[in-house]
Amino acid sequence: MSDLSTAAADLIVLTLPDGNTREVPAGTLARDVVGSIGARLLSASVAVAVDGEVVDLMTPLRKSGAFVVITDKDPRALEVLRHSGAHILATAVRRLRPDAAIGFGPAIDDGFYYDFDVEKPFTPDDLAAFEAEMRKVVAEKYAFVREEVSLEEARARFAGDPLKMERLADFEGSDEVISVYTDGPFVDLCRGPHVPDTSYLKHFKLLSIAGAYWRGDVKRQMLQRIYATAFWKKDELETHLHQLEEAKKRDHRVLGKSLDLFFFSPVSPGAAFWTERGTVIVNELQAYLRDLQRDGYQEIRTPLLYNKSLWETSGHWGKYRENMFLVLDNETGEHDMSLKPMNCPSHYVMYASKKHSYRELPLRFNTYDVLHRNEVTGALSGLTRVRQFQQDDCHIFLMESQIADEVRQLVQFILSYYRTFGLTATLKFATRPATRIGSDDMWDQAEAALRGALEATGLPYELKEGDGAFYGPKIDFDVHDSIGRAWQLGTIQLDYAAPERFDLSYTGEDNSAHRPVIIHRAVSGSFERFTAILIEHFAGAFPVWLAPEQIRVIPIADDYRETCEALVARFRAKGLRATVDARNETLNYRVRDGEMQKVPYMAVVGKREAEESTVALRVRHTGKKQEILSVDAFEARVLDEVRTRALTPMPVAATTTEEASA
């Protein structure tokens, strides 16, 4: 206590956003400072920030700095609310299940969760009961009371909570302040900040239960995690829940079924069966990449199955064998062959099969070969996580002096590919990890080359210090899907290790052997995952160049059937994917079917159109608006859109993609 009283004698200076200052004794509660600015502001306030650090209203302020009052309009306030929501959840759970040991309960991007250690796992019924109990806790309006305690005091308070005791052990020998928060019957070890009392949590919903390892460690016990979300306003919560529903509708697994693109069968878990329609999409993507890589790249094909000597050289046999599908070799009676999980080693073999001159570099091998990785069953998920997939893989062999130019070119290549689909990516730059190979000079040069290329793009990037591969730094490209998930698709990795392991060389200008450097490059990650993202991004309404069925010609009555069939034959002769729907159904029925199948163009032909060589064009998702145009003009328009890989016809739903990820 004597510490506090001497501290109180000191004054601190708080600078408000408008430039005014408040001089208060150190230890003054944030709430009192806010109150001195205005009573209304105090009632609207949730927390405050001092020099950007968010603390709650009950925190004694000890240092001078920029002082900002956080109201519910500030995004940081939502984080505070959700974190408090986690405590309220734990309060409710503890009331109904006093045996529950408490783990961690943080705010996350879309809400919050809390982990509990319980004998009997929670059920969906429990979830409903917890939510009802939370409403009681909210109604009881318990203040969140902050206390700062000594390690001994904290241990005394959490003696019955083994998980908290373990957390407290981390504070041993640290001078970090230990704070606890109490709301009514519940006490938690917590840094804060929190809303002033439980009544602030008005609009929330418990969403799901899942297992989660204590401290993320597979070797530790599995806790029961409850996921939930909360918002300041009712309509925000409803909008969020609505978006979750909408996201489900554009889930690639749902659309894959309804649009008949692919399916999975228990006879080959984790490997897609692509239907004719789905195959069209994959083939178009591959054709586009081939087109882009016609010059400067060498497309190659290498075996799928290898004996272990290759994997021993590459290092996979030691480090990656668990993820490889091993195959019995009848000669040896051992499982000493494997399907390839990556292309790299086979490309090194290809490179090593000849002598290379510096004049050939950079030498770019690209491939679309099939890869197999034996993922654990729990990891499989639709097309985004599979056991068999194709990468648009490329390995570039080059001299160190060529790295900067090459990387700059690759970044542009990858970004412009994404742009074709209207996708935006965020870039991450991963630098040298603690355990690594190669000299510091080499890393300096490699990182400088990558960084220079990144900065040349003018795009923002996230620096992931120490997150690089052991063999070199890398740039990763994250693309966001409609449900807000970020998928790592593209990657550019510098590799100084593989050339050593495989003893690769080229003959330099000086007529002696030199080590090349290798760049690993992928653009779409895998065709499977990329297709999944495109399905969700476009909500199944593909631009015409990707659409499995581009034109559906519909005769109004049987009399125009032959005219329609002739039109389809004409379109198909031009390479367009056209079909005729002359089924014995009403026009309404067939139009509806075309809309639901998300066919970009429906060309309706009746008496007028048949006589005048026109079509009544219905553009996907534009309702009754229709255009009458000549067959020639229509054909030219579609051909042009296909040729330019235009994003047309723009799906109405695409606008919601941006909102969903925002």
Partner RNA sequence: GCUGACGUAGCUCAAUUGGCAGAGCACCUGAUUUGUAAUCAGGCGGUUACCGGUUCGAUUCCGGUCGUCAGCUCCA
List the interface residues with RNA, window 260-299 (CB under 7 A). 264, 266, 269-270
**Can residue 197 be called a binding residue for RNA (CB under 7 A)?**
no
**Can residue 526 be called a binding residue for RNA (CB under 7 A)?**
yes
Say which of 87, 347, 364, 373 is annotated catalytic: 373
CA distance 473 to 429: 8
Q: Before 516, cis peptide (omega within 30)?
A: no
**Can residue 319 be called a binding residue for RNA (CB under 7 A)?**
no
> Which span sits near RNA by CB under 7 A: 71-79, 284-292, 299-307, 594-602?
594-602
In the residue annotation, 395 being an active-site residue is answered as yes
Of these, 370, 616, 629, 646, which contacts RNA (CB under 7 A)?
616
Nearer to RNA, 471 or 506 (CB): 471
Of these, 195, 209, 492, 578, which contacts RNA (CB under 7 A)?
209
In the residue annotation, 253 being an active-site residue is answered as no
CB 245 → RNA: shortest distance, Å?
Answer: 12
Residues 218-237 that bind RNA (CB under 7 A): 218, 222, 224-225, 227
Is residue 110 exposed (0-12), middle (13-18) or buried (19+ Cβ within 10 Å)? middle
What number of CA atoms fall less than 13 Å from residue 529's CA on the CB side?
26
Please, what's the b/e burial string for 130-156 (b: 16 or more CB within 10 A of its CB; e: otherwise)?
A: bbebbeebbeeebbbebeeeeeeebbe
**Can residue 580 be called a binding residue for RNA (CB under 7 A)?**
no
Say which of 164, 252, 387, 395 is annotated catalytic: 395
Q: Before 649, cis peptide (omega within 30)?
A: yes
The CA-based angle 388-422-572, given to 5 degrees, is: 75
**Can residue 589 be called a binding residue for RNA (CB under 7 A)?**
yes
Neighbour count for residue 613 (Cβ, 10 Å): 12
CB 267 → RNA: shortest distance, Å?
Answer: 8
Query: Which 3-state string (H, E, C) describes 567-636?
Result: HHHHHHHCCCCEEECCCCCCHHHHHHHHHHCCCCEEEEECHHHHHHCEEEEEECCCCCCEEEEEHHHHHH
Nearer to RNA, 376 or 434 (CB): 376
Say which of 391, 402, 493, 597 is annotated catalytic: 391
Token pair belonging to 645: 């890989």
Of these, 528, 549, 581, 641, which contacts RNA (CB under 7 A)?
528
Nearer to RNA, 253 or 515 (CB): 253
Residues 241-260 that bind RNA (CB under 7 A): 253, 257-258
CA distance 177 to 175: 6
Contact 348, 515 (CB under 8 A): no
Token pair belonging to 48: 């405050």
**Can residue 488 be called a binding residue for RNA (CB under 7 A)?**
yes
Residues 357-376 that bind RNA (CB under 7 A): 373, 375-376
Of these, 330, 353, 435, 584, which contacts RNA (CB under 7 A)?
584
Residues with Cβ within 8 Å of residue 61, at least 6 apart in sequence: 12, 14, 24, 26, 27, 28, 29, 30, 33, 50, 55
**Can residue 629 be called a binding residue for RNA (CB under 7 A)?**
no
Of these, 278, 473, 499, 525, which contacts RNA (CB under 7 A)?
525
According to DSSP, the residues that pair with 389 across neighbouring strands are 371
Nearer to RNA, 155 or 621 (CB): 621
Residue 306 belongs to what H/E stretch? strand 305-307
CA distance 647 to 651: 9
CA distance 233 to 565: 56
CB 218 → RNA: shortest distance, Å?
Answer: 5
Residues 111-150 that bind RNA (CB under 7 A): 121, 123-124
CA distance 280 to 283: 5
Of these, 425, 553, 556, 567, which contacts RNA (CB under 7 A)?
556
CA distance 439 to 321: 29
Give Cα separations from 35 to 73, 261, 493 (angstroms): 18, 61, 54
Sign of CA dihedral 616, 618, 624, 630: negative
CB 499 → RNA: shortest distance, Å?
Answer: 20
Of these, 133, 609, 635, 641, which contacts RNA (CB under 7 A)?
609
Say which of 520, 521, 552, 577 is annotated catalytic: 520
Contact 325, 339 (CB under 8 A): yes
Token pair belonging to 617: 């064009």
For strands 388-390 and 370-372, give the pairing. antiparallel
CB 599 → RNA: shortest distance, Å?
Answer: 11
Say which of 183, 225, 344, 620 is annotated catalytic: 344
In the residue annotation, 445 being an active-site residue is answered as no
x/- map, 373-412, RNA, by CB under 7 A: x-xxxxxxxx--xxx-x-x---------------------
Of these, 618, 631, 634, 641, which contacts RNA (CB under 7 A)?
618
Nearer to RNA, 266 or 333 (CB): 266
Of these, 185, 211, 466, 575, which contacts RNA (CB under 7 A)?
211
In one-letter notation, the amino acid at residue 338 is: S
CB 380 → RNA: shortest distance, Å?
Answer: 5
Q: Which residues are catalytic?
A: 344, 373, 391, 393, 395, 474, 520
